[in-house]
Amino acid sequence: MTRLVNVSNRVALPSGSSNAAGGLAVGVLAALREHGGIWFGWNGRTVKGEPAGPQLTQDGNITYATIELSERSHELYYNGFANTSLWPVCHYLLGYFRYERREFDEYRRVNSLFARKLIPLLRPDDLIWVHDYHLIPLASELRRAGINNPIGFFLHVPFPALEMLRVLPVYQQLLRALCAYDVVGFHTPRDLRCFRDALDSQGLGDGAGADRRNHANGARMHADVFPIGIDVDECQQLAMQTGEHDHVKRMVKHLHGRQLLIGVDRLDYSKGLEERFQAFTRLLENYPANRNQVSYIQVAPKTRTGVRAYDDIREALEQTAGQINGRFADIDWVPVRYLNRAFDRATLMGFFRESSVGLVTPVRDGMNLVVKEFIASQPLYDPGMPVLSSLAGAAHELSDAILVNPYDVDGVADAMHRALNMSEGERRERHSSMLAVLRRNDITAWRTRFVEALLQAQGQNQTADP
């Protein structure tokens, strides 16, 4: 069988915490477990001198091949260009955007380091699947070194509209770099449209679509939509099994029969947590009957510590949660529990199952797996309802969720109230149609469709070979 070589900035090693929060890791791991193969990337360690690796670790059918990064690369490439230039632009959040040429130079250097370290592991019939915005130039680096394998790229974050993309001084270079891939994948048709517009603006598209000749090996680049999904059965089973887990039991005990609203997000400004806390305040103000009747748990494990904006948001949210509790709490009721830590996956699914409302209100998101996990974890006879941001990619598929604009705090409060009071019949109807969507576009469909597109590229390349 052809080997699948996944490459992402960060690899979630089996020896690490099983609480790793992050959609890319969850998706890649689930896809790899099914198909087997290599997962290549950074192991999370930084060093002062020359980074070592790749170090190989075998776990079942997955080989983890990991490298170190220098402290300088971590600061300039990861904290810098990837997370302070690209991430904000892709999420339409220019208030967080900064561009420094030396950070972009380091971004290119790290991509060339990834290529150098990866090449000795490659076999001629491997399919290479590169993930996310950290590694856009990787294919051009590999092509330069003579690698002719099919190489695909999947963008886990939104592809911004041309007028937003143009803010990046190096956007043209990045677009050209994307043309070195055989397959470029996005979560939604909207992302694909934006990508095609951007290519056309540079004369790189064919006018009608995104297919074009790529200079390196004469193959054609194919861009398409591959919505990421989840393993529905895994979530359902975990959710059903965890009712007896200590954390879930303690959580339910402290509810004292109140309805629960839940949010689970990496602590990231794109997840709309400040706005969500305001909306919860508005729920208690505008619909006072909910006081002492509902509780809100927000799980928000830390990520990207060391990036200033991420440290700031943590402090801001702690304050807001304190203010809400200070204003509304009663001797027997704490309105908000803000848990700045990670839980294991099974516990999260158990929490979801006990919740009446799933709050998923990012101000922008590529897809959002949490809403899918929330839906899959619900009991069929009495399912909870998600309140979902229309600015998350998942809204494209999940039109039966209660859709909101996350910036409209009164609107989100109305939606919370509506979800809390929706009839069982309506909840069951909406849930069953959303579950059907989750099953159609599950993690297997995502992986299979992408791999098929890569195999097709391989066939075409071979035909095109002189």
Q: State the residues that interact with ligand GDG by CB under 6 A.
A: 19, 21-24, 26-27, 156-157, 228, 264, 266, 299, 301, 342-345, 348, 365-370, 373
Cβ neighbours of residue 17 under 8 Å, at least 6 residues apart? 342
Cβ-in-10-Å burial (0-12, 13-18, 19+) of 93 comes to middle
- Token duo for residue 388: 């979902």
Nearer to ligand GDG (CB atom), residue 225 or residue 329: 225
The answer to whether residues 263 and 352 touch, using CB atoms and an 8 Å cutoff, is no
CB of 342 to ligand GDG, least distance (A): 3
Closest approach of ligand GDG to the CB of residue 385, in Å: 18
Q: Distance between CA atoms of 422 and 185, rounded to whole angstroms?
A: 37
Catalytic residues: 156, 365
The distance of closest approach from Cβ of residue 368 to ligand GDG in the complex, given in angstroms and rounded to an integer, is: 5
Tell me whether residue 266 or residue 276 sits nearer to ligand GDG (CB atom).
266
Per-residue CA distances from 339 to 37, 346, 446 (Å): 35, 17, 32
Spell out the long-range contacts of 208-212 with Cβ–Cβ below 8 A and sequence spacing 24 or more. 210/184, 212/179
**Smaller CB distance to ligand GDG: residue 214 or 377?**
377
Q: What residue spans of 146-263 are helical by DSSP H?
A: 162-165, 171-178, 189-201, 232-241, 246-255
Q: Shortest Cβ distance from residue 132 to ligand GDG (Å)?
A: 8
Cβ-based nearer residue to ligand GDG, 22 or 209: 22
The burial of 60, by beta-carbon neighbours within 10 Å (0-12 exposed, 13-18 middle, 19 or more buried), is given as exposed
We find the least distance from the C-beta atom of residue 140 to ligand GDG, in angstroms, to be: 23
Look-up: residue for tokens 């000795």?
120
Q: Which is nearer to ligand GDG, 143 or 271 (by Cβ)?
A: 271
DSSP state, residue 256: T
How many CB atoms lie under 10 A from the CB of residue 340?
14
Angle at which helix 345-353 crosses helix 232-241, to 10 degrees, equals 80
Token readout for 354 is 């006990």
CA dist 411 and 88 (Å) reads 25
Task: State the minimum distance, in angstroms, from the CB of residue 233 to ligand GDG.
Answer: 15
If the CB atoms of residues 97 and 333 are measured against ligand GDG, the closer one turns out to be: 97
User: Within its chain, how far is the Cα of 169 from the centroid?
Assistant: 25
